[in-house]
Chains A and B, each alone.
Chain A
Amino acid sequence: MRPGRKDIVVWLSHIEGISNRNIERLINYFCNIEEIWYAGKKHIIKALGHRNTIVDKIIKNRNQQSIVEIFKNLNSNNILPLTIYDPLYPHKLKNIYDPPYVIYIKGSKIDFDVPLISIVGTRRATPYGRWAARQFAKELAKWNVGIISGLALGIDTCSHIGALEGNGYTIGVLGCGLDQYYPASNRSLTDKIFENGCIISEYRSGTPPLKHHFPARNRIVSGLSDGVVVIEAPERSGALITVDFALDQGKDVYALPGNINNMQSKGTNKLIRDGARILLEVDDIIENLKYKYPMCKIDMEQSARDDLSESEMQVFNVIKRNPVNIDLIINETGIKAAELNSILTILEIKGYINQMPGKIFTVVK
């Protein structure tokens, strides 16, 4: 059987030591990448440049057997490879400089056409940063915005957690193969992301998390997104590399202001000075996304229906119509004061209603 170009690219990315740049060179050299299957060694050497050790490995592995094995492995691990030739390949990513020729995806929900925002920041986050990352991720999730981040410690972890808390969609981009958990402490978080979103990597299974993978990963993080939010970053930070990519790719950059004396906010404050959008509330982001997507908040009623018991729903429906005083709720629903008070507390804690002076209740806007 003659392998197609998608198979060839996947196979190439499994050659040990090959880089995205190498693949690019090969694709550019051969008009048709399928030709590499039959090409002589001298052409491959010419394509990659002299004295390249990868050449031997390519020739050694150039057989049907290895391709079958690769796909068998991917299948058994539930990993979906997407090459640049696939119609499913995210077009946002296609349009960046140096797009990965293949990305590996694992997860239950794979969708790149929804609004996506990446939230990045330092690993040594302050409590303020952690809170903000989580809060914004959660609020964005309520607007059906997916959250992309790098699954690193600190801000990345908090953004994923926030998105999951808001029952939202989230994508983690790894700097190593999908067969390992990195960092190991995020094992349970990674498993949860598998359930509510997906994990992406441009590296084949078994690739260790090497230092230079991470800046490269950041171009995917920003490339997939419609805007990059920097929560906290010291003056020299990986997050700022992501910002550079985002600017090259023409994405919006939002920076969260922080204390000017705080090391972890120096980078973000400077970004604001240099013209990044200042992030004060989630609407700052939503306003811009509205130009590209029809934005609408998850219907509270919808989530309420799933979340509330019958009597809670009954009370919620009364409050929803109008801000209303507790005595009128009693009058309307016929629920006893004792029980009603307890229902109101639960609704308040679940975040559906607010209490105002005079024991008047309203739904949370």
Chain B
Amino acid sequence: MLSKVKTCCLTGLIVTMIEVEVDISKGLPNVNVVGLPDMAIKESKDRVRAAIQNSGFDFPLKRITINLSPAHIKKEGSHFDLPIALGILGASVQIPLEELEDTLVLGELSLDGKTNKVDGVLPMLLETYNKGIKKVIVPYENLEEAKIVDGIEIIPVHTLNDIMLHLMGEKRLDTHTGPFKYNRNEKINSEDFKDLHGQENLKRALEIAASGNHNLLTIGPPGSGKTMAARRLPSILPRLTFQEALEITKIYSVAGLLNAHEGLIYNRPFRSPHHTSSTVAITGGGRIPKPGEVSLSHYGVLFLDELPEFSKASLEVLRQPMEDKVIHISRINGSYTYPADFMLLAAMNPCPCGYYGTDGGQQCNCTAGQINRYIGKISGPLMDRIDIIVETSAVKYKDLADNGRSESSEEIRKRVEKAREIQLGRYRKTKYLFNSQLNGAAINKYCSLNSSAQQLMNLAFHRMNLSARGYNRVLKVARTIADLDGQDVICEKHLAEALQYRNLSGLIP
């Protein structure tokens, strides 16, 4: 007897429909999986055997051939357990499979027949739904994730037994269907700026960075609040649109980072990899490449604390995705492309001991050579992509008399969202989205200075030894400040403020 069950497989974010064909014929009892399965699939036959038997069915003692068609594509993942089990039961005529004609089946099995959560459900369903599959069987833990796909009929299952009773018509399972409602104002689990007193300068810089999507570097001694402020950045970033949320969720689904019963991701990602992270951890990779930190922080923040402690190679790999907003990973199994549109937020000490340039208390005891080596780890090209540099210093508690409350993230975010809207409007018919992406000719076109600002720029160019590169960065930041102020033309005060966010102290080459 022959039976067929539909499922699919995922390579990167690309989905292919797969048909699980099971044939049971006479011969010595044997199970064979063909069609380029990986180890997880080959092991599947043992799980399936136990699951079937423990669910009260017979595992046929015959020669069983399982083919995953099309056979030329390498397949991986544990979600083939359920389709294989159903195929075997169908081929051995223990349950009717007619109903599964155009149903997608995904699921991993435990030995006791319970279904387990699988990775990549969202991208798989989105793609197959577009290809005409309207009905899907998924483990119960993937229900929330599956619900995001608008209009698809979902049959969540707890155990193998459930689905068999359902197919035999003894106990029908509930099906979930209906439009997905995106609630943009879902709570955000981020710490709030209102709990952070002082560091007004850093807060302001973060607000500007968030508005123009500028990359930002904070330099300061230990305990000056760099990390604390950084962790609050997501709370002032604009709310995710549904499309953005969908893209982020897809990536997290593929990476297997979605929690059980968690649907769409409502929070902008904030990834903070440790500085011992390898190059591959940053970019993504593996035999079958998984998304790395740059992709996991897609539409969010990649926070690199202690920037110079990262290996030089891990920092240099950031350059290409920062430019292209995607990352291409090539491995023997094929070439994978993951999106990587993140905002870089970096923090570092001014020297290896951390206290260079601070007054009172701790004294820096680094030699000039040590400091140069430390700073020199950050290459010019990387530095080039950082628009805003803020220096912080540790402020003594007694100096910061509590003068009223700090602004809440909500208030700041409103301003940020307004500034972003202005930018989206201005760049409607161009390839740009935000001020930080402007270059060359576009800077001249969009960053027009009024006459007093022009004068200030000329003065600053000479007095502050601005380079051509620095000049462009200052203009882009000034553009964002003007947007925050709701002005079309960059005025003197905007430019003057932007000039404070360049590096002056000569710490950075």
Q: Do A and B bind each other?
A: yes
Q: Which residues of A contact B (CB under 8 A)?
A: 323, 325-328, 330-331, 334, 336-346, 348-349, 351, 355-360
Q: Is the CB of A341 within 8 A of B463?
A: no
Contact indicator B201/A346 (Cβ below 8 Å): no
Cβ of B1 < 8 Å from any Cβ of A? Answer: no
What is the bound-complex CA distance between A355 and B506, given in angstroms? Answer: 10
What 7 new A-B contacts, CB under 8 Å, besides A330-B201, A356-B505, A360-B393? A331-B399, A336-B204, A338-B484, A349-B459, A349-B463, A356-B357, A358-B391
Closest Cβ of chain B to A325, distance in Å, is 5
Q: Are B200 and A327 in contact (CB under 8 A)?
A: yes
B359 within 8 A of A: yes
The list of the 7 closest CB pairs from A to B, nearest first, reads: A357-B357, A337-B204, A342-B496, A345-B496, A357-B505, A341-B500, A359-B391
Q: Which residues of B contact A341 (CB under 8 A)?
A: 201, 204, 496-497, 500-501
From A331, A337, A355, B400 is in contact (CB under 8 Å) with A331
- Are B499 and A359 in contact (CB-based, < 8 A)? no
Chain A residue with Cβ nearest B507:
A357
Q: Is B392 in contact with chain A by the CB < 8 A criterion?
A: yes
Q: Taking the complex as formed, is B390 at the interface, i.e. its CB lies under 8 A from any CB of chain A?
A: yes
A340 to chain B minimum Cβ distance, whole angstroms, is: 8
Q: Is the CB of A358 within 8 A of B505?
A: yes
List the B residue with the shortest CB-CB distance to A322. Answer: B359
Report whether A345 and B357 are in contact in the complex, using a CB–CB cutoff of 8 Å: no
Nearest neighbor of B357 in chain A, beta-carbon distance = A357
With beta carbons under 8 angstroms apart, the residue of A323, A327, A355, A356 that contacts B395 is A327
| CB neighbours of B499 from chain A (8 A) | 345
Chain B interfacial positions (CB closer than 8 Å to A): 198-201, 203-204, 220-221, 350, 356-359, 390-393, 395, 399-401, 403, 456, 459-460, 463-464, 481, 484, 492-497, 499-501, 504-507
Q: Is the CB of B221 within 8 A of A326?
A: no
Chain B residue numbers with a CB within 8 Å of A336 are 200, 204
Name 7 A/B residue pairs within 8 A (Cβ), A-sorted.
A327-B200, A327-B400, A331-B198, A337-B204, A338-B484, A342-B494, A358-B359
Given contacts A323-B359, A330-B200, contact A338 B395 (CB under 8 A): no
A351 to B459, alpha carbons, bound, how many Å? 11
Q: List residues of chain A with CB within 8 A of the CB of B357.
A: 356-358, 360
Q: Is the CB of A358 within 8 A of B493?
A: no
Distance to closest chain A CB from B391 (angstroms):
4
Can you name the residue of chain A whose Cβ is closest to the Cβ of B505?
A357
Instruction: Give B384 Cβ to nearest chain A Cβ, in Å.
Output: 21
Q: Which residues of B contact A328 (CB under 8 A)?
A: 395, 399
User: Which residues of A sit under 8 angstroms from B456, Cβ to Cβ?
Assistant: 345-346, 349
Chain A nearest CB: distance from B18 CB in Å?
57
Q: How far is the CA of A355 from the CA of B399 in the complex (A)?
A: 20
Q: In angstroms, how far is the closest chain A Cβ from the Cβ of B217?
A: 13
Q: Which residues of B contact A360 (CB under 8 A)?
A: 357, 359, 393
B358 touches A358 (CB 8 A): yes
B399 neighbours in A (Cβ, 8 Å): 328, 331
Q: With contacts A342-B493, A342-B496 known, is A355 near B504, CB below 8 A?
A: yes
CB-nearest residue of chain A to B203: A337
Q: Are B403 and A331 in contact (CB under 8 A)?
A: yes
- Cβ contacts under 8 Å, A327 to chain B: 198-201, 392-393, 395, 400
Contact of A334 with B403 at beta-carbon distance under 8 Å, contacts A358-B358, A360-B393 already known? yes
A359 to B399, CA, bound (A): 16
Q: CB within 8 A of B201: which of A342, A349, A351, A359?
A: A359
Q: Are A346 and B496 in contact (CB under 8 A)?
A: yes
- Residue from A323, A328, A334, A358 whose CB has the most chain B CB atoms within 10 Å: A358
Q: In the complex, what residues of B have CB within 8 A of residue A340's CB?
A: 201
A338 to B480 CA separation, bound complex (whole angstroms): 12
| Cα separation A168 to B505 with both chains bound (whole Å) | 31
Complex Cα spacing A323 to B360, Å? 12
B284: min CB distance to chain A, Å: 36
Complex Cα gap A342–B500 (Å): 7
Q: Are B463 and A359 in contact (CB under 8 A)?
A: no
Q: Is the CB of A331 within 8 A of B401?
A: yes
Minimum distance in angstroms from B494 CB to a CB of chain A: 8
Is A337 in contact with B201, judged by CB distance below 8 angstroms?
yes
CB distance from A91 to the nearest CB of B (A): 42
Whether B459 and A325, one on each chain, are in contact in the complex, defined by CB atoms closer than 8 angstroms, is no
Residues of B within 8 A of A325 (CB): 393, 395
Chain A residues whose C-beta falls within 8 Å of the C-beta of B199 in the assembled complex: 327
Tell me which of A323, A331, A340, A356 has the highest count of chain B C-beta atoms within 10 A of its own C-beta: A331
**Is the pair A348, B464 in contact by a Cβ cutoff of 8 Å?**
yes
Chain A residue contacts of B481, Cβ below 8 A = 338
* Nearest CB in chain B to that of A343: its residue: B496
A355 contact set on B, CB distance < 8 A? 504-505
Report the separation of the CA atoms of residues A351 and B395 in the bound assembly, to the nearest whole angstrom. 26
With A and B bound together, what is the CA distance between A126 and B123 in angstroms? Answer: 70
Cα A326 to Cα B497 with chains together (Å): 13
Are B350's CB and A358's CB within 8 A? yes
A4 to B: closest C-beta gap in Å: 55
Task: Give the nearest-CB partner of B224 in chain A.
Answer: A358
Contacts of A331 in B (CB 8 A): 198, 399-401, 403
B366 CB, min distance to chain A CBs, angstroms: 12
With both beta carbons as reference points, the residue of chain A lying nearest to B459 in the complex is identified as A349
Q: What's the least CB distance linking B402 to chain A, in Å? A: 10
Cα(A345)–Cα(B457), bound, Å: 11
Closest to A328 in B: B399
Smallest CB–CB gap between B99 and chain A, Å?
64
Q: Report Cα–Cα, A360/B391, bound state, in Å.
A: 9
Chain B residues with Cβ under 8 A from A343's Cβ? 496
